[in-house]
Amino acid sequence: MSRRALLGWIGKTAGAGAMYQAMTSLGFAAESSHPGSLNLDGVKKGATVLVLGAGVAGMTSAYELRKAGYKVKILEFNSRAGGRCWTLRGGDSYTELGGATQQCQFAEGNYINPGPWRVPYHHHHVMSYINEFNIAIEPFIQVNYNALVHSTKAFGGKPQRYRTVQADYQGYAAELLAKTINQNALDDSLSLEDREKLFESLRHWGALNEKGKYQKSHETSLRRGFAIPPGGGLSGKGEPSDLIDQSALLQSDLWKFIVNGQDIEFQSSIFQPVGGMDNIAKAFEKRVGDLIEYNARVTKIDQNDTGVTVDYEHHGVAKTAKADWCVCTIPLSILSQIPVKASSAMQTAIRSVPYASSVKVGLEFNRRFWEQDEAIFGGVSYTDLPITNISYPSAKYYDKGKGVLLGAYVWGPNAFEFTSLAPEERVKKAVEYGKQIHPQYTEEFNNGIAVGWHRVPWTQGCFGAWTEEKREQHYDNLCQVDGRLVLAGEHASHLPAWQEGAISSAHDAIKRLHKKAVATAA
């Protein structure tokens, strides 16, 4: 089966969220290389560059180009910088396509990141700017063994602890392989010494007894948790916990959730900026904000042999900007609606990349019951409900005030279903689903806010959802310097949906644009 066919099958049967996870596993979203030196030497005096979009790709481009000696101007659609690097806090408002406006009512210090919400340690371009700009970061907890996995079709709809599902699945798998060894089924593949080592490793890995059995014991409870935890004094003897029935576990499908933390994007260490992801955008804006013209809606991109001309509207007034060169970071979902003077190959590429649908819902509760009642500190709980997961805050543990959860991260058809509802109904829906996992929702819910990315005016989608076939046909054409124009952004990278893709794309684009600019000047 080809990778394309496999991804198509996963998308049809399990949804876009699962397909994206598969994309990660198949290398469509992989570890990023270390940023090399840009070496933007030899800039012609007075050379100008127009950057379209003040997201992280646009601001990265402007920051590095100005350092090299170019005169730079940025046109930005919004009244703020950052693009999808965006944080909503109490007092903020947001208006989506169709005119629905939401007012964020979160308590002071609480927030939700509608876009990127974590930075893996190996996203070296993002981490290098975090270091250079001295942005305060803290650990983001992706895997919490005390979080929950949930299926509406298994165990009467009762959520199970992540650690019990992982320990039991791992233990049963180890036992089955140990039986294969004991039945001499691997004699032709392994030496006697190797079989003995494999058996011992399986015992260690799966918490098996001396006979290779996965059975209720002190050792298994050290992995999955005790029925009564060990303590002090005369009442301190621990009681081992019962195992999940093997067949019931296999039929539950809960095992599919426990591999998420093993994907390279979610392996520790993972970080988040203290106080909100937009602190990365603010750090860039601090350095290039004087170059940005906000509330500038691009309406046309033209070019000839000597330069680029961009028409735009600023508060309804038609304006024009000109430069020698142009770096365009406008999402393809928007750029495909704008007249662009470019080769037919680039224009076809721009129109060929669909954008994923996604919805995030932030829910604020009167208290942090997940910590106080259930000892869940950070991490993610997974479910087969349309909300797909619940992510718990990775900071301010045991804070006595209100707390905010990522109460839904919805993908595919479910995302379109969510955004067919009014924003307040989407929040209500997230609460209705979430209380099947946390009954405390009913009494503790205070307020919420929902962002459907395909209804966000400046992106009309979550990220560029390349397929293997479309990459083969259009990716190189999209990324080439076309006359005096080059594109950058997560859509022009092999790390779609990640800030790392946006920034590494910007580095690559401006290096190639600079090379052409120097050659043209000569």
CATH number for the domain that contains residue 116: 3.90.660.10
Q: How many domains does the chain have?
A: 3
Give first-to-last CA distance, the chain, whole Å: 51
Helices (H), ranges, 420-498: 423-434, 441-444, 468-470, 476-479
126 and 188 part of one domain: no
**Is 504 inside any structural domain?**
yes
Taking CA atoms, 262 is separated from 117, 171, 445, in Å, by 18, 18, 32
Residue 500 belongs to a domain with what CATH number?
3.50.50.60
Q: Which residue has the tokens 């076939």?
A: 469
User: Is there a domain that residue 6 lies in?
Assistant: no
What pLDDT does residue 184 have? 78
In a domain, 12, yes or no: no
Give the 3-state DSSP-derived string for 10-70, with helices as H, strands as E and coil as C. HHHHHCHHHHHHHHHHCCCCCCCCCCCCCCCCCCCCCCEEEEECCEHHHHHHHHHHHHHCC
| Cα–Cα dist 486/190, whole Å | 55
User: At which of 438, 455, 472 does a domain end?
Assistant: 455
432: helix, coil or strand? helix
| Same domain assignment for residues 335 and 200 | no
CATH of residue 212's domain is: 1.20.1440.240
Distance CA 230, CA 227 (A): 9
* Dist. CA 333–CA 330, nearest whole Å: 8
Q: Give the span between the Cα atoms of 88 and 94, in whole angstroms.
A: 9
In a domain, 104, yes or no: yes
The pLDDT, as a whole number, for residue 481 is 98
Q: Tell me: do 401 and 433 sit in the same domain.
A: yes
Q: Which of 399, 428, 455 is the last residue of a domain?
A: 455
Q: Which domain holds residue 238?
A: 162-252
What is the rounded CA–CA span in Å between residue 57 and residue 36? 16
The DSSP element (H or E) to which 149 belongs, if any, is strand 148-150
- Say yes or no: 230 and 309 in one domain: no
Buried/exposed 169-190: b ≥16 CB within 10 Å, e otherwise: bbbbebbebbeebeeeebeeee
State the Cα–Cα distance between residues 276 and 110, nearest whole angstrom: 9
What is the residue-level pLDDT of the chain in tens, covering all 522 positions?
Answer: 344 444 444 444 444 444 444 444 344 445 667 787 799 999 999 999 999 999 999 999 999 999 999 999 999 999 999 999 999 999 999 999 999 999 999 999 999 999 999 999 999 999 999 999 999 999 999 999 999 999 999 999 999 999 999 999 999 999 999 988 878 776 677 888 888 899 999 999 999 999 999 999 999 999 999 999 999 988 888 999 999 999 999 999 999 999 888 888 888 899 999 999 999 999 999 999 999 999 999 999 999 999 999 999 999 999 999 999 999 999 999 999 999 999 999 999 999 999 999 999 999 999 999 999 999 999 999 999 999 999 999 999 999 999 999 999 999 999 999 999 999 999 999 999 999 999 999 999 999 999 999 999 999 999 999 999 999 999 999 999 999 999 999 999 999 999 999 999 999 999 999 999 999 987
Please tell me whether residues 232 and 314 are part of one structural domain.
no
Work out the number of other CB atoms within 10 angstroms of the CB of residue 397.
12
- Mark whether 398 and 449 lie in a shared domain: yes
> Alpha helices of 387-498 — where are they, by DSSP H?
412-419, 423-434, 441-444, 468-470, 476-479
Same domain, residue pair 340 and 434: no
Residues 349 and 487 both lie in one domain:
yes
Look up residue 513 and give its two tokens: 């644009």
262 domain-assigned: no
Q: Which residue, 404, 426, 455, sits at the end of a domain?
A: 455
What's the CA gap between 496 and 489, in Å, rounded?
Answer: 9
CB distance 330 to 53 below 8 Å: yes
CA distance 52 to 470: 25
Per-residue pLDDT, 188: 72
3-state SS, residue 232? coil
CA-CA distances (angstroms) from residue 225 to 168, 231, 238, 254, 415? 11, 14, 10, 17, 36
Planar angle of CA 141, 376, 158, nearest 5 degrees = 120
Same domain for 123 and 244, yes or no, is no
- Does 441 share its domain with 479? no
Please tell me the distance from the alpha carbon of residue 311 to that of residue 45, in angstroms, as a whole number.
Answer: 25
pTM check: above 0.85:
yes
Residue 23 within a domain:
no
| Distance in angstroms (rounded) separating the CA atoms of residues 416 and 404 | 24
Residue 20 maps to a domain? no
19 located within any domain: no
Q: Each residue of 239-251: b (16+ CB within 10 Å) or e?
A: ebbebbeeeebee
Q: Which residues of 260-299 are buried (b: 16+ CB within 10 A; e: fewer)?
A: bbeeebbeeebbbbeebbbbbbbbbbebbeebbebebbbe
Helix (H, G, I), strand (E, B) or coil at 185: coil
Q: Are residues 497 and 436 in the same domain?
A: no
- Do residues 349 and 360 share a domain? no
Are 173 and 206 in contact by the 8 Å Cβ rule? The answer is yes
